[in-house]
A and B are shown apart, each in its own frame.
Chain A
Amino acid sequence: MATRVVVDPITRIEGHLRVEAMLDGGNKIQDAMSSGTMWRGIEVILQGRDPRDAWAFCERICGVCTTVHALASVRCVENSLGMQVPKNADLIRNIMFLTQMVQDHVIHFYHLHALDWVDVVSALKADPAATATLAQKVSPHWPLATEGYFRDIAGTLKKFVDSGQLGIFQNAYWGHPAYKLPPEANLMAVAHYLEALKWQKEIIKIHTVFGGKNPHPNYLVGGMASAIALQSDNAINMERLNMVSGLIDGALDIVENLYIPDLLAVASFYPEWTTYGGGLGNYMVYGDLPQNGIGDVSKFRIPRGAILNKNLNEVLPVDPADPAQVQEEIAHSWYQYPNGKTSLHPWDGVTEAKYTGPKPPYKQLDENGAYSWLKAPRWKGNAMEVGPLARMLVGFASGRTEFKEVVTAALGKLKVGPAALFSTLGRTAARGLETQLAVHWLRDEYNNLIANLKAGDTATADTRFWSPDTWKPESKGFGFTEAPRGALCHWIQIKDKKIANYQIVVPSTWNASPKDGKGQHGAYEAALIGTPMADPKRPVEILRTIHSFDPCLACASHVIGPDGEILAEVVVR
């Protein structure tokens, strides 16, 4: 008889997500439902506002990947108004983009994902001397690896546990048979959890230099507001640049000597997780990090493309501006379309909420009916996975040398073949490898900024079209980025100097989507199917696979006006 496992809330994510998994007699997941359980309606709120303000509203879609919606939004408005941002603005945006990606991926690994693999309570049994030996072997260049250091950490942990107030660590799955790390590796991971927590607040100061604050730094349509004046004490100058450069050095250290060694060490204990959690096998990337303006896709550091059916021999072209490519379906979502339509491109974004779920409080949702506030976006009819794994695979399959180098090196260290990438662990590893690329790109982009300043270019904003009086009566545009969690695109229509329509399709909508009209599962659902569970009451395995996607459900879903008037459509990130 089938068992239904409900996990709600899924913790250690952004936003509100529910998973229901149906197990067969052997406790293997045979079907799964991913349900976004919140929507806020940012897009309808944007209607009628000044397009130059949109970035601030959009940025509040998510405070974890703060910055990515602002970036997509300013690009969207600039595309619509025909603006060309100065080279320095692209460089500063690239630096902020990479800062965000590195910080977000490190936080995800240590603070959102690690507790799926690391048993905190087991760490109490660790021998500090043996832990020091292990740590020095895992990462010879990381200095905090002495017996005394680990003895202090163990002491901290023991006193915390003995206090009887376990806080965020209570009632978890410690001792679960799915945890495989020896006590020393667990203690090392706990220590690094705390080190990474201290460090993440440092790297993000790069956002503060250019954007004034983090979370939610400032952006600007037409460029960046942080003027550069090397002879001024009140603009981006040598002191500010030195701070950025020093923070990049710190990030290189953390990624190369903490994150990557820990990732490979933890992964080596869980080889079976290279065989579960692969899911769809379809991947899509819009690309980012322009080297010659946002219009020259061929010069992106992160290449654009799609892969179907795990076929790494072919990268298919993707165009977010082509209305034929992206369609959103609602067969299992709490919406209805007019005139019997079943799928629409975001440009035609008509949405009418129709909640047919049970009245709260409820016990379970109906997999045969609608069960989510998320729509089901599809690329040419295919359910797609987006995110770090998609980006690494598209980069690899596109023949980019740097992608091939890091992927090949990691596979070699783990002694597995490329097929291992199509898995839960492959997804988690891809995020780390991407961080490794990103932190070196961060140094490169900084160097490029300095080189451009040396060449005498200090411009940061194009103000020719700042005044709404210079705008055409009607225009439309799109703006994309590669958020930490995957491909993100905004679409805008401007009429009479105001936003006439604004639509967003975000990474977690692709990944967390419910089934479509053909019964094709979304990426989370597909990845869960086939996974065995040791103890269905303690769903560690579900958390591992769901967390490998790094869910971000902040702004789930589609929007209607106050009287049911069809206005716009949204989505989740």
Chain B
Amino acid sequence: MALPSQSTYDLLRELGVDRRTFIEYFVKLTATMGLGAAVAPQVIAALETKPRLPVIWLHGLECTCCSESFIRSSHPIAQDIVLNMISLDYDDTLQAAAGEQVEEIRRKVMKDYKGQYLLAVEGNASTKDDGVYCTVGGDSFLNILKETAADAKAIVAWGSCASHGCVQNARPNPTGAEPVKKLISGKAIVNVPGCPPIAEVMTGVLAYILTFDQLPELDRVGRPKMFYGQRIHDKCYRRPFFDAGQFVESWDDEGAKKGWCLYKMGCRGPTTYNSCSTFKWNNGVSFPIGSGHGCIGCSEENFWDNGPFYERLTNIPVPGIDSTPDTVGKTLTVLTGIGIGAHMVSQAVQRRKVAADADNDAPKGEKE
């Protein structure tokens, strides 16, 4: 069975959305993606002709924070995604049907849209003891994931659980929880880490796939470059205080009231790749640093085991760099220029390290 012929544009037109509104909306969308106005016509053209993509959204070992984040998206809003842009055929968190009726849907989509549906995965799978630590409909989530992935067009791994393993994968990982990339090979996987990911990053990834009919450009660990290309520190509005050596030294001190840099309170901004300091959260209201708490690095691999969170980065080894971030910080008050230089080195090293890790871990067939 082929995909339905009705495009997003057709549907929106039928729903009474005029072309001008349609264009305005997608110009805004392309801006969200950081693509610039020049690309907007391409996006609009694509949406005028592409059919709605069937999506199966599975939930394994997780806390549902990704779904909660998803419905917080401001542009596009969740209603537009679910009613107009994709066909969310299976999602146990929102599904009207239950039990056998819902499992029947999953099997039907896998058959009718073989090779054409997108698999979205929230959470990960227990691999110990036949996967008995997470079962759905009497079968292990591990089996369900493998079965559903087999005929998927591509996989979107939502959040740090599906991308990296997250909290249940932290030491000592009692259930043998493993992320999608460790369990599925031979499929294109888009990792969208974060605990949870920013809402507009999630909808941005989906909209990109729908618009361009291709996966976004990924970095060496499978993350979309457009959202995970820079460290939070690089664009943090408190960065000038770091450079000036002005730090919060204790909670609720004068520095905290003036919004100085949280590096000494353990902020992971310098080693965390995410869009928090650019898009911010909940339609731009704030982000962790903006509300006075350091970043805990929730989009980075193994961030749970790189604690304690309030210990400054000095105690986390940064391979390949002679000076630790702490000595960089100490020197900064005197030599800001060297601090920035060391940061650039640190960033380059970090990228090499990430690349090296990816070469070791990347499953076969994963797109770069």
What residues make up the interface of A, taking CB atoms closer than 8 Å to B? Answer: 6-16, 18, 37-42, 44-45, 49-50, 52-53, 56-57, 60-64, 66, 111, 115, 120, 152, 155-156, 159-160, 163-165, 167-173, 194, 197-198, 200-201, 204-205, 207-218, 220, 222-229, 232-235, 243, 355, 357, 359-364, 373, 458-461, 463, 466, 538-539, 543, 554-555, 559-562
Tell me if A53 and B65 are in contact (CB < 8 A).
Answer: no
Tell whether B228 is near chain A: CB-to-CB under 8 Å.
no
Bound complex: CA of A500 vs CA of B348, how far in Å? 39
Q: Which residues of A contact B283 (CB under 8 A)?
A: 201, 205
Name B279-296 residues within 8 Å CB distance of A: 281-283, 285-293, 296
Bound complex: CA of A120 vs CA of B140, how far in Å? 32
Please, which residue of chain B has its CB at the minimum distance from the CB of A365?
Answer: B138
Tell me if A363 and B16 are in contact (CB < 8 A).
Answer: no
Q: Which of B16, B104, B135, B258 contacts A232 (CB 8 A)?
A: B258
Q: List 15 A-B contacts (CB under 8 A).
A: A9-B98, A12-B98, A37-B136, A62-B65, A165-B54, A165-B87, A167-B89, A169-B96, A197-B77, A197-B79, A208-B285, A213-B288, A215-B196, A227-B252, A463-B250
Name B311-339 residues within 8 Å CB distance of A: 311
Tell me if B88 and A167 are in contact (CB < 8 A).
Answer: yes
Chain B nearest CB, measured from A112 CB (Å): 8
Tell me if B98 and A539 are in contact (CB < 8 A).
Answer: yes
Bound complex: CA of A560 vs CA of B175, how far in Å? 10
Tell me if B68 and A64 are in contact (CB < 8 A).
Answer: yes
The contact string, 1 if C-beta is below 8 Å from chain A, for chain B 74-91, is 100111001100111101
Bound complex: CA of A114 vs CA of B44, how far in Å? 35
Bound complex: CA of A201 vs CA of B14, how far in Å? 27
Tell me if A172 and B93 are in contact (CB < 8 A).
Answer: no
Q: Which residues of A contact B138 (CB under 8 A)?
A: 6, 8, 18, 360-364
What residues make up the interface of B, taking CB atoms closer than 8 Å to A? Answer: 4, 6, 11, 14-16, 52, 54, 59, 61-69, 71-74, 77-79, 82-83, 86-89, 91-105, 129-141, 143, 166-168, 170-175, 177, 195-196, 199, 250-252, 256-259, 276, 281-283, 285-293, 296, 298, 304, 307-311
Tell me if B174 and A562 are in contact (CB < 8 A).
Answer: yes
Q: Which residues of A contact B258 (CB under 8 A)?
A: 229, 232, 234-235
Q: Which residues of A contact B100 (CB under 8 A)?
A: 6
Q: Which of B62, B88, B167 contacts A168 (CB 8 A)?
A: B88
Given A173-B97, A213-B281, A361-B143, check contact A461 B54 (CB 8 Å): no
Q: Which of A11, A37, A201 contacts B135 (CB 8 A)?
A: A37
Q: Which residues of B contact A49 (CB under 8 A)?
A: 307-308
Q: Which residues of B contact A14 (CB under 8 A)?
A: 63-64, 93
Given A210-B291, A212-B290, A214-B72, check contact A62 B98 (CB 8 Å): no
Tell me if B98 and A466 are in contact (CB < 8 A).
Answer: no
Bound complex: CA of A204 vs CA of B173, how far in Å? 32
Q: Which residues of B contact A160 (CB under 8 A)?
A: 83
Bound complex: CA of A459 vs CA of B62, how far in Å? 36
Listed from nearest, the 4 A-B pairs whose CB atoms lie closest are A63-B65, A234-B259, A41-B174, A212-B288
Chain B nearest CB, measured from A205 CB (Å): 5
Q: Which residues of A contact B87 (CB under 8 A)?
A: 165, 167
Tell me if A53 and B174 are in contact (CB < 8 A).
Answer: no
Tell me if B282 and A201 are in contact (CB < 8 A).
Answer: yes
Q: Decide if the interface of chain A is mainly helix, strand, loop or mixed.
A: loop
Q: Which of B52, B96, B286, B292 contacts A163 (CB 8 A)?
A: B52
Tell me if B132 and A357 are in contact (CB < 8 A).
Answer: yes
Q: Which of B99, B282, B298 contacts A10 (CB 8 A)?
A: B99
Please, which residue of chain A has its CB at the minimum distance from the CB of B10?
Answer: A163
Bound complex: CA of A212 vs CA of B276, how far in Å? 10
Tell me if A62 and B64 are in contact (CB < 8 A).
Answer: yes
Tell me if B97 and A60 are in contact (CB < 8 A).
Answer: no
Q: Which of A11, A42, A538 contacts B92 (CB 8 A)?
A: A11
Q: Which of B72, B82, B95, B136 contacts A16 (CB 8 A)?
A: B136
Chain B nearest CB, measured from A349 CB (Å): 15
Given A9-B98, A45-B167, A167-B82, check contact A223 B287 (CB 8 Å): no
Q: Which residues of B contact A216 (CB under 8 A)?
A: 65, 195-196, 298
Q: Which residues of A contact B74 (CB under 8 A)?
A: 201
Tell me if A40 and B130 are in contact (CB < 8 A).
Answer: no
Given A9-B99, A209-B285, check contact A45 B105 (CB 8 Å): no
Bound complex: CA of A38 vs CA of B137, how far in Å? 12
Bound complex: CA of A413 vs CA of B361, how far in Å? 62
